[in-house]
């Protein structure tokens, strides 16, 4: 039972001080979660702390590999709008 930080993390440091298990470490190329220490905040907080402050969608996964903050959930930007805009910008 542990979360995982994946590529896309912008190293903003928001999560690390909040972790009740001190499981989050600054690393290169991005922060990572020590799976041996992570408790998913079970029994300490109602919501997992790292995933509740993380500003980047899709970069923290649960133990099943599912994003805790799926695309569109934090910014409110519909994923299809983001994809269309990226394609437009690339095509310029």
Partner 1 sequence: MLELNRSIHGASATGGSTPAADRLAQLPAAIRAKINTHPCFSEDAHHHYARMHVAVAPACNIQCHYCNRKYDCSNESRPGVVSELLTPDQAVKKVLAVAAAIPQMTVLGIAGPGDPLANPERTLETFRQLAEKAPDIRLCVSTNGLALPELVDELCQYNIEHVTITINCVDPDIGAKIYPWIFWNHRRITGRKAAEILIQRQQEGLEKLVARGVLVKVNSVLIPGVNDAHLPEVSRVIKAKGAFLHNVMPLIAEPEHGTFYGLMGQRSPTTAELDALQTACAGDMAMMRHCRQCRADAVGMLGEDRNQEFTLDKIEQLEIDYAAAMQRRAQVQAEIEAKRAAARQPSPSVLVALPLIERPRAQPQPQKLPTTRPLLVAVASHSGTHIDQHFGHAREFLIYEATAEAVRRVAVRSVDLYCTGAAECDDTDNRLAQTLRALDGCEAVLCARIGYEPWGKLEAAGITPNGEHALEPIEMAIAAVYAEWQAAGRLTPQTAAPARLSA
Residues that bind partner 1 (CB under 8 A): 10-14, 17-18, 45-47, 49, 52-53, 55-56, 74-77, 81-82, 85, 88-89, 92
Q: How far is CA 22 from CA 7, 32, 79, in A?
A: 20, 11, 33
- Residue 13 CB, shortest distance to partner 1, in Å, is 5
Complex with partner 1: residue 65 or 88, whichever CB lies closer: 88
| SS3 at position 69 | coil
| Integer Cα distance of 15 and 51 in angstroms | 8
CB of 4 to partner 1, least distance (A): 19
Quick one: 20 or 36, whose CB is closer to partner 1?
20
Residue 56: which of 13, 1, 25, 90 has the closest Cα? 13
Nearest distance from C-beta of residue 70 to partner 1, angstroms:
14
């Amino acid at each position: 039972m542990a979360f995982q930080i994946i590529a896309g993390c912008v190293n903003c440091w928001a999560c690390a001080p909040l972790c009740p298990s001190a499981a989050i470490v600054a690393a290169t190329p991005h922060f990572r979660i020590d799976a041996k220490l992570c408790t998913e905040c079970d029994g300490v907080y109602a919501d997992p702390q790292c995933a509740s402050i993380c500003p980047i969608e899709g970069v923290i996964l649960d133990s099943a590999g599912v994003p805790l903050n799926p695309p569109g959930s934090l910014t409110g930007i519909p994923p299809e709008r983001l994809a269309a805009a990226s394609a437009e910008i690339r095509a310029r």
